[in-house]
Structure 1
Amino acid sequence: MNTILIVDDNPDILDALDLLLSIHNYKVISAATVKEALLSVSRQKIDLVIQDMNFSEGTTSGEEGTQLFYAMKELNPSLPIIIITAWSQLETAITLIKSGAADYLPKPWDDQKLLATISEHISVAAKPVPTTALIYQSKEMAELIFTATKVAAAEINVLITGPNGSGKEKLADFIHQKSARVDAPFIKVNMGAIPQELMEAELFGAEKGAFTGANQARAGRFEAADGGTLFLDEIGNLSLSGQMKLLRVLQTGEFERLGSNVTQKVDVRVVSATNANLLIDIKSGAFREDLYYRLNGMELSILPLNKRKGDILALAKHFIGEDYQFTKEAEQFLLQHNWPGNVRELENTCKRALIFAENGLVTLTSLSGQEQSAVLSEKEHIFSVLEKHDWVIAHAAQELGLSRQTLYRRIEKFNLIRGE
């Protein structure tokens, strides 16, 4: 999947482009400032940039956009950059075209023209090879994958349960790739990263003026996933009013955007996941029983890593790659550790251990020092949360309780770089 960086200080434009490009199978990274944009280009693999020309309130000269353009070109001379600008700044945009910009589009842009321009300048394979490989050797996971393969072929909703970091999202992706909907969108929503007051708008969309800050109409995730699969992670965080709307969509395929009385109909398969005990939530009144049974056409439960020890070495060897190997003492350490953070903790541990590996060997010393501290340092904690959310800054900042700007400053301070 190709990654597109959008640089604009208007959150409505960021949201609109995020949704448009996500529907068309692009991964989107958003930046609201010049500094955020340059950090993204310098630390992540970006395939194309869409940038505005002004980023400070009241600024219309286009000078900020011009400086950003040349700075990004200095970091990556071959990076395609599309300029989106007001009509009053077309002269500046044309100058940047002569300096190597891929193209420019006036605001408001035409979606089809923008998509065609992106396709022209980005290297997109005719059909990406699905990454459905799951790493396992245990009998428990073999049985689960056998069942998941059978379930994938059926048109039923799936509920995946298991502790944090156990691989629920990977399993959901596997189910989509093995289903008849493989060529349709696979849309992921982390319910735990969305404020309650915005959750319904995120799922069902909203019309302009439906709530404070809704400055333009936007489609929701159900519309984006039409014909495909919608993955709802941390489903237990959905409010009761949101649960009622979700139940209706699952029953009829129908819903309305917030602020609209126009009924829309979609064909979406829902795969949801939770680390909570929804049956307890039902008893307490926090979760609807009828929704639970609609979501739970089939339940797939992933065991914690310490209950399927046969997977530990297979996963660890995958994480360190073919250029490294563990000593026998290191392997013994991995097998004896309890892994409360499950696969995510194992992956982060292996990545950190590679820093201290010598001559292609990951030793006990590389690993055991990490066990001495029960609490991760701030640097390690931030890195683990970024990895958890696949470096989607908005989601990671939400979990960390930081603003996006503060998180970018922490990334710069600790020199955190996303692993390839």
Structure 2
Amino acid sequence: MSTKPSTVLIIDDNAAVAMALDVLFSLHDIAALRAASPEEGLALLAREPVDLVIQDMNFSHDTTSGEEGVALFRAIRRQYPDLPVILLTAWTHLDAAVDLIKAGAADYLSKPWNDQRLLATVSNLVELGQANKALHQSAQRERRARKELEEQFDLRGLVWRDPATERVLSLACQVARADVPVLITGPNGTGKERIAEIIQANSQVASGPFVVLNCGALPAELIEAELFGAEAGAYTGAARAREGKFEAADGGTLFLDEIGNLPLAGQMKLLRVLETGRFERLGSNRERQVNVRVISATNADLAAMIRAGTFREDLFYRLNVIELRLPPLAARPGDILALAHSFLQGPRQLDAGAEAALLAHPWPGNVRELKNVITRASLLASGSMIKVADLGLPAAPPPVAAPDAEPDRDTIVQALARANHIVAQAAADLGLSRQALYRRMERLGIGRGA
């Protein structure tokens, strides 16, 4: 499938210049639109999609002040702030060019131009612009998806920004109203219980109880009693009868966390409840009937446990009608700062260094670790601004220091040559802004073609 060519708008009152540029671009699969005046150029921009503008700085006869070009440039920036604009003219006041670069001009090229340099600049800027446009469109899609989820479903106040989390949430909400078991997998501390709460909140039993049992927090001999209840005297210390989690969850949802820790005897009884809705309390022969939606979660490799004979395969398929895989926090970096800000306590803020450290940390403890780090920092920070040291995490790598001395003439000339005389690239290689490099070139008498 062919790719649509890039489109450049040339705004120049010199027909020969516009024609030469049109021919140059057509030879390299770049479409060109031409306008002979600022008014015509702005009108074309209003009705045609354009990737980049090349504009002259003077349009009236015998005018060299550049004021018309400045006005045109500012009009384009007001209406199309992300559209790259290259200034092309024989007008060579570098101070004024620097001012326009500061105002957002993509580059400044003098007439007569070098074809290779101009093509390289245009290609780089169009590629960058298209990448930025794709990122912008992706961000818009993510915002729309987030808004739709928030408007259509009860998300229990969950904070998220990452597309990976959005995909899990979307599937969770999609299956919430189906009366089928759901298995949530993922590392400890990723928020599996929160996903289970969201499924319950959007299910057909949303008004019923939401009961939680952590199968990994109890001794194996007590898990069955917790699940199914026990009659008085059923085991040592059972002085009176007690209901289990299934009875407590009747008409609602039972969330079984760390399901991989359930012993084999309990697995068999759980399978029967899932198949029939019936069970007996420990020490009782009377069957009880319940209607419970079961959601389970684990960080274990259940497939490996099945191979080892420690988890029933038939129970796995009964629990795993729908599986939701919740990635570790490090795999959804868009959530990190959003969650961190939500965990701040009191009038606290994160400075830039602290945010960089949070993004760089691998988060082996996931969301639970992040919450603990932010809670501790909120309590221990000496001021309202939380810094790297307050987090107790490795600091982010320091930024590359600027050169102690300004680059000399030979260094700048060599950098320009390496960058094919694209000032923006040369400036980046030297660790300078474009305007700073323009000032040095003017001071040292270095032209664009040096």
Q: Normalising by structure 1, what TM-score?
A: 0.56
Match of 1:385 in 2: none
Partners in 2 of 1:297 and 1:284 — Cα distance?
22
Partners in 1 of 2:317 and 2:275 — Cα distance?
11
2:169 equivalent among 145, 170, 187: 145
CA contact (8 A) 1:333 1:368 kept: no
CA contact (8 A) 2:357 2:395 kept: no
* Equivalent position SS for 1:193: coil
Partners in 1 of 2:201 and 2:300 — Cα distance?
26
Structure exhibiting the larger radius of gyration computed from Cα positions: 2
1:227 aligned onto 2:254: no
Q: Which amino acid aligns with 1:156?
A: V
Residue by residue over 1:251-298, the C-alpha shift from the partner in whole angstroms, topping out at 9 and shown as x without a partner, is 000001111111111000000000001010001100000000111110
Residue by residue over 1:220-240, the C-alpha shift from the partner in whole angstroms, topping out at 9 and shown as x without a partner, is 110000010000000001111
2:210 equivalent among 186, 196, 215: 186
Match of 1:270 in 2: 294
Q: State the number of aligned residues.
A: 243
Shift of 1:359: 3.6
1:335 aligned onto 2:348: no
For structure 2, list consecutive stretches of 5 or more residues without a partner in the other structure: 1-153, 397-450
The 5 Å alignment of 1:99-178 reads 132-178=156-202
Q: Which amino acid aligns with 1:302?
A: L
- Does 352-361 or 305-314 show the bigger shift? 352-361
Residue by residue over 1:185-219, the C-alpha shift from the partner in whole angstroms, topping out at 9 and shown as x without a partner, is 10000111111111111100111111111111111
CA contact (8 A) 1:248 1:255 kept: yes
Match of 1:282 in 2: 306
1:292 aligned onto 2:316: yes
CA contact (8 A) 2:280 2:286 kept: yes
Shift of 1:358: 3.7
1:345 equivalent among 369, 372, 393: 369
Match of 1:38 in 2: none
Measured on the aligned residues, the alpha-carbon RMSD in Å equals 1.7
Partners in 2 of 1:295 and 1:143 — Cα distance?
21
Shift of 1:370: 7.2
Partners in 2 of 1:355 and 1:370 — Cα distance?
19
Q: Which amino acid aligns with 1:259?
A: G
Change over 3 Å in CA distance of 1:267–1:307 after alignment to 2: same
Q: Which amino acid aligns with 1:198?
A: L
Residue by residue over 1:129-154, the C-alpha shift from the partner in whole angstroms, topping out at 9 and shown as x without a partner, is x8712111001001111111111111
Match of 2:33 in 1: none
Residue by residue over 1:15-67, the C-alpha shift from the partner in whole angstroms, topping out at 9 and shown as x without a partner, is xxxxxxxxxxxxxxxxxxxxxxxxxxxxxxxxxxxxxxxxxxxxxxxxxxxxx
Shift of 1:334: 0.4
Shift of 1:354: 1.1
Partners in 2 of 1:358 and 1:221 — Cα distance?
46
CA contact (8 A) 2:185 2:326 kept: yes
Work out the percentage of aligned pairs sharing the same amino acid. Answer: 54
1:303 aligned onto 2:327: yes
For structure 1, list consecutive stretches of 5 or more residues without a partner in the other structure: 1-129, 373-420
The 5 Å alignment of 1:19-418 reads 132-321=156-345, 323-368=347-392
Partners in 2 of 1:131 and 1:280 — Cα distance?
33
Partners in 1 of 2:279 and 2:317 — Cα distance?
19
CA contact (8 A) 1:166 1:305 kept: yes
Residue by residue over 1:103-142, the C-alpha shift from the partner in whole angstroms, topping out at 9 and shown as x without a partner, is xxxxxxxxxxxxxxxxxxxxxxxxxxx8712111001001
Q: Which amino acid aligns with 2:206?
A: V
Q: Which amino acid aligns with 1:176?
A: Q
Q: Which amino acid aligns with 2:278?
A: E
Partners in 2 of 1:222 and 1:368 — Cα distance?
42
* Equivalent position SS for 1:271: strand
Partners in 2 of 1:366 and 1:290 — Cα distance?
49
Shift of 1:355: 2.2
